[in-house]
Amino acid sequence: MSRRPENNARAGGFSLIEVILAMAIVSILLVGMGAALTLSAGAADLGKEGNARSVTGGRAIELVRSELTTATGLIERKPASLIFTVPDRDGDAEEEKIGYTWSGVSGDPVMRSFNGATPRVFVDSAANIEFSHLVQLAPKAETRTLQVLANYNANASGRASTVDVSTDAIMAQLWTAPVSVVSVQINEVSVALLRKRNGTVRVRLFLAGPGGPTSGTLAGAGEISVRPNTFATVAFGTIAVSPPVDLSGGASIWVVVDALSSTQPVVAIPVETNQPGQPSSGFLATSLDAGANWTFAVHSDTSLQLRGNVTRRLPGARVTE
C-alpha cells in the first residue's frame, strides 16, 4: 500500500505560535522606538528653547545689528522702539521699512515688523532692552568750505531803518542753522555799518541761552575799526571769527554788535522791521543799557552775512552700532 507524502508545514512558513511570538517582540520594539522618538523630540524642543534664549540675549542684538549694517536711514530711535530703512528686498525699487518694538514691561515679547505689516514675535520674552543705546546715526556726509550760510541786505528792501550802536546801545541778531544740515562752522561774520564817528565795533557770537542774547556761552569774537575813510556809506565790515564757531543743525546763535570805549553812537546799522526775511529766524534784539535789558522784535533783521563750512547729509545715510 502506498503512503501519501507527508506535508511538512515547517518547510513553507511559521507556526501560529511563532507568529504570535514575533508580533509580541515587534510590539515591544515599536514601543521602545516610540519612547526614543519622544525623547528625541523633547531634546529637539529643548534645543529650540535654548536657541530662543540665546536670541533673547546677545543673539537678538546681533541679529538687529546685522540688519542695521545695511540700513539707509533711521526713522525712529527710542528706548523701546527702533524703526529704520534698508535697501529694496522685494524688487519694487523702494526701500523697505523694518521696525522693532517692546512694551518696556519685563517679560513681554519684542516684536518685529516689515513694511508696516502686522508685527510678529521676534523675542518671546525680554527683561531689559534699550534700542537707543544700540545704534547711533552715522550719516554719510560732505563738507563744503567757505559757503554763504546767511545773506540778507535790509537796506535793499527799501523798508530799512537804522539802529545806533555804542557801548550801551547793543544790537543782536539770532540765527539758526538749518535742521537739514549735519553741522556748520562759522568762520566769518559781516555786518552792514554806517559811520557816525571814529571807534571800534565789536562783534561777538553767543550760543543761544535761556535768557537774553548774551546769556549763553561766548563762542567767538572779532573787532572792526571805524575810521574817517571807512563806512561813509553803508558797507559791510567783516571779522574773522576766532575761534570758529561750530553748530549742529537746528542750533541757534546770537550775533551781538556793540562799540568799545564810546557811549556815543559809533555806527548805525540798517534794520528791516516787521517784515519776514533772512536769516530765517527773523529775530532781532536791542538793548540801551549794555545788555541789562533787551527788547525783542520778531520778523526783524539786520544786514548780516555769515560764511563758513557746512556739512550736509548725503543720500544713503546709514545706521551703525
**Per-residue pLDDT for 14 more than 60?**
yes
Span 170-181, pLDDT tens digits: 999 999 888 778
Distance CA 152, CA 158 (A): 13
Domain membership of residue 281 (yes or no) is yes
- Mean pLDDT for 284-306 is 89
Residue with the bigger pLDDT between 245 and 24: it is 245
Q: What value does the mean pLDDT of the chain take?
A: 77
**Torsion sign across C-alpha atoms 27, 33, 35, 37:** negative
- Mean pLDDT for 23-28 is 62
Among 4-13, 254-263, 295-304, the least confident range: 4-13
Choosing from 120, 137, 154, the residue where a domain stops is 137
**Per-residue pLDDT for 282 more than 70?**
no
Choosing from 96, 117, 137, the residue where a domain stops is 137
Domain membership of residue 292 (yes or no) is yes
> Quick one: 258 and 178 in the same domain?
yes
Return the closest-CA partner of residue 321 out of 23, 94, 70.
70
> Quick one: 132 and 145 in the same domain?
no
> Quick one: 186 and 254 in the same domain?
yes
Q: What is the pLDDT of residue 313?
A: 67
Among 81-90, 157-166, 180-189, 219-228, the least confident range: 157-166
Span 187-222, pLDDT tens digits: 999 999 999 999 999 999 999 988 889 999 999 999
Collapsed DSSP state (helix, strand, coil) of residue 286: strand
Distance CA 157, CA 282 (A): 15
Domain membership of residue 231 (yes or no) is yes
Residue 255 pairs with which residues in a beta bridge? 173, 205
Residue with the bigger pLDDT between 20 and 129: it is 129
> What is the biggest distance separating any 2 CA atoms in the chain, rounded to whole angstroms?
163
**Per-residue pLDDT for 162 more than 80?**
yes
Distance CA 180, CA 263 (A): 41
> Quick one: 217 and 105 in the same domain?
no
> Quick one: 155 and 173 in the same domain?
yes
Domain hosting residue 114, numbered range: 66-137
Domain membership of residue 161 (yes or no) is yes
**Per-residue pLDDT for 316 more than 60?**
no
Domain membership of residue 41 (yes or no) is no
Choosing from 88, 116, 137, the residue where a domain stops is 137
Total domains present in the chain: 2
* CATH number of residue 250's parent domain: 2.60.120
Domain membership of residue 36 (yes or no) is no
Domain membership of residue 119 (yes or no) is yes
Distance CA 240, CA 221 (A): 8
> Quick one: 178 and 264 in the same domain?
yes
> Quick one: 224 and 290 in the same domain?
yes
Return the closest-CA partner of residue 247 out of 189, 313, 305, 186.
186
Span 60-117, pLDDT tens digits: 777 787 777 777 777 787 888 888 888 888 888 788 899 999 888 888 888 999 998 9
Among 110-114, 153-157, 271-275, the least confident range: 153-157
> Quick one: 99 and 235 in the same domain?
no
Instruction: For the chain, list the strands marked E by DSSP.
Output: 73-78, 81-86, 96-102, 110-114, 120-123, 136-138, 141-152, 160-165, 170-176, 181-195, 199-207, 218-226, 235-248, 252-260, 267-272, 283-287, 295-298, 301-302, 304-313, 318-320
- In percent, the amount of the chain with pLDDT more than 70 equals 71
**Per-residue pLDDT for 49 more than 80?**
no
> Quick one: 220 and 293 in the same domain?
yes
> Quick one: 128 and 147 in the same domain?
no
Q: CB within 8 A of 181, min separation 6: which ones? A: 249, 310, 311, 312, 313
Cell of 210: 535761556
> Quick one: 112 and 148 in the same domain?
no
Task: Dump the DSSP string for 204-264.
Answer: EEEE--SSSTTSS-EEEEEEEEE-TTS-SS-EEEEEEEEEEEEEETT-EEEEEEEEES-SS
**Per-residue pLDDT for 158 more than 70?**
no
CB atoms within 10 A of CB 263: 11
Residue with the bigger pLDDT between 246 and 242: it is 246
Q: What is the pLDDT of residue 302?
A: 85
Domain membership of residue 254 (yes or no) is yes
> Quick one: 165 and 268 in the same domain?
yes
